[in-house]
């Protein structure tokens, strides 16, 4: 099953990893998004290939990149 990850007019997106619906602040027309408060460690080209991740999946990905021994490395 394919998940439509394109933002809606109110900024809601579906996470390409888990399908969870979340709001992208920029797509919603806000000046900031919740993800701006997280460490900026993922190269833009990597993030743009997959699309925006939900808070849970993005947090797990950042954790796996900053803590290689983490159990979440297989995110």
Structural contact between residues 5 and 27, judged by C-beta atoms closer than 8 angstroms:
no
Contacts of 60-66 with CB under 8 Å at 24 or more apart are 62/38, 65/41, 66/39, 66/41
Query: What per-residue confidence (pLDDT) applies to 46?
Result: 58
Query: What per-residue confidence (pLDDT) applies to 73?
Result: 46
Q: Tell me: the pLDDT tens digits for 34-62?
A: 999 998 887 765 555 678 899 999 999 99
* Structural domain span for residue 20: 12-67
Q: Residue 60: inside a domain, yes or no?
A: yes
Mean pLDDT of the 58-68 span:
89
Q: Residue 34: inside a domain, yes or no?
A: yes
The total of structural domains in the chain comes to 1
Classified as helix, coil or strand, 41 is: coil
Cβ-count burial 26-64 (b if 16+ within 10 Å, e if not) = ebeeeeebebeeeeeebeeeeeeeebbbbeebbebbbbb
pTM (2 decimals)? 0.70
Q: Tell me: the pLDDT tens digits for 21-34?
A: 999 998 899 999 99
């Amino acid at each position: 099953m394919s998940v439509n990850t394109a933002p809606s007019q109110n900024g809601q997106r579906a996470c390409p990893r888990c399908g969870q619906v979340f709001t992208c602040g920029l797509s919603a027309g806000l000046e900031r998004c919740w993800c701006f408060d997280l460490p900026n460690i993922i190269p833009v080209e990597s993030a743009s290939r997959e699309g925006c991740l939900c808070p849970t999946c993005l947090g797990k990905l950042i954790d796996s990149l900053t803590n290689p021994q983490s159990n979440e490395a297989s995110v």
